[in-house]
Amino acid sequence: MGAEKIRVLHIIGQLGVGGCEKQLLELCRRMDRDAIEQAVAYYSPDPQCMREAFAETGVRLYYVNKFGGISLWRFFLTLRGFIRDFQPDVIHTWQYSPNCWGRLAGLSCGHRRFIASERTAMRSPPPILRAFEMLFGRWTVYTANTEAVANAMRRSTGIPPERIHITHNGVEMKPIDKQQARLEVRAELGVPSDAPIVLAVGRLTKAKNYPMFLRVAGRVARKRPDAVFVIAGHGELKEPLEALRARLNLERSVRMLGIRSDVPRLMAAADVFCLCSLWEGFPNVLVEAMASGLPAVSTDFAGVGEILDDGGASIGARVGLDRDDAMADCVLRWLNDPEQRASIGCAGRESAERRFSWPRLVRQMDQLYVGMADGRAHKRISGAAE
């Protein structure tokens, strides 16, 4: 292709404040603009939309409200129009719905080079998924952000292992003055400067299992009443969680801060990080906690071992799903042992910097886009399918 730019069209459901969207935003910021021209098409409205942040990267944005009363046929034709307008060399679709709609629209335009990214190990994938992959598979390279997600894709659709690339997420590693953050955040919360903080970050959804976090807080508070539990996130379960907090008598121990733009500062200020999820794809927030030097304890959902185990060395703690007793024991142990806490935090930071940096992911995606655009990956995939 010489010096001609590779044109990549990303198709994603929404541009809300979520892990998948943040990964795409950073790719748009970090890919070499002299080599790769990118555009983003999305179709779901979101009150926390990051459209301005995407626009600042210089990518072309296409939007149609799939849920705004238009017919599916009209939506499909609009999506085809986006593809014809941008004329991509590669169509990169993100998550289940865009993987279906984006490839269907592209195929109808004569496009034959797709990258389909899946980022959640679906527990009950719809049966139609296998049929879609029979239709699109020969023209598709797949990416998964964990081996657990790749395994789920293979089980649910029969995709051969050689077609799936494992591309672990990239995480920003910005240094923050921990001592200053500790003082500022405690002053903001109105708690003593030496009060221990246990942090959870993420959307208030069923998957994140915040009721478990509240039960952990209740158990720990009985032995460490000075501990403050902080939740940073927004979502549809805000009111039920506030009601549960009140029933458990935890209004003083648990602070619900809503959505925050300073999560790295909160992590720098905290003493322990908890992730109580029932399921995840690749939880960026867990790696971000590690990168900040914050010791992390997580439930043992599929794929978390790829983050918390590093070459056989444990760099965090795992407990059973919904086991608030085990997580509370771990939190108490760490709060009472500053040396162990610091040791685990240092090990996690070193591991995160080595395994989950953005330059590593950008190199992987650059190689994949170039390989698809010049036909090498496409020929290999087509050959494997025949």
The string of DSSP letters for 87-126 reads --SEEEEESHHHHHHHHHHHHHTT---EEEEE-S--SS--
* Confidence at 174, pLDDT banded by 50, 70, 90: confident
Res. 383: pLDDT tops 60: no
Taking only the tens place, the pLDDT of each residue in 265-301 is 999 999 999 999 998 878 889 999 999 999 999 999 9
Q: Indicate the CATH number of 178-355 among 1.10.3720.10, 3.40.50.720, 3.40.190.100, 3.40.50.2000.
A: 3.40.50.2000
Number of C-beta neighbours around residue 145 at 10 A: 27
pLDDT for 380: 45
| Lowest pLDDT segment from 55-69, 306-320, 354-368 | 306-320
Taking only the tens place, the pLDDT of each residue in 144-169 is 988 888 988 888 888 888 899 999 98
- In eight-state DSSP terms, residue 169 is P
pLDDT for 379: 52
pLDDT for 3: 63
Residues 6+ apart with CB under 8 A from 246: none
Q: Could you give the dihedral angle defined by the CA atoms of residues 353, 354, 357 and 361, in that order, rounded to the nearest 10 degrees?
A: -170
Comparing 6-170+358-385 with 178-355, is the CATH topology the same?
yes
CB 357 within 8 A of CB 291: no
Residues 197, 333: Cα–Cα separation, whole Å:
14
* Confidence at 172, pLDDT banded by 50, 70, 90: confident
Q: Which two tokens stand for residue 271?
A: 């003493």
Quickly list H helices, 1-95.
19-30, 51-56, 72-86
* Confidence at 382, pLDDT banded by 50, 70, 90: very low
Res. 384: pLDDT tops 60: no
Residues 6+ apart with CB under 8 A from 34: 5
Residue showing tokens 């795409």: 24
How is the chain split into domains, by residue range? 6-170+358-385, 178-355
CB 197 within 8 A of CB 265: no
* Confidence at 119, pLDDT banded by 50, 70, 90: confident
* Domain 6-170+358-385 indexed as CATH 3.40.50.2000: yes
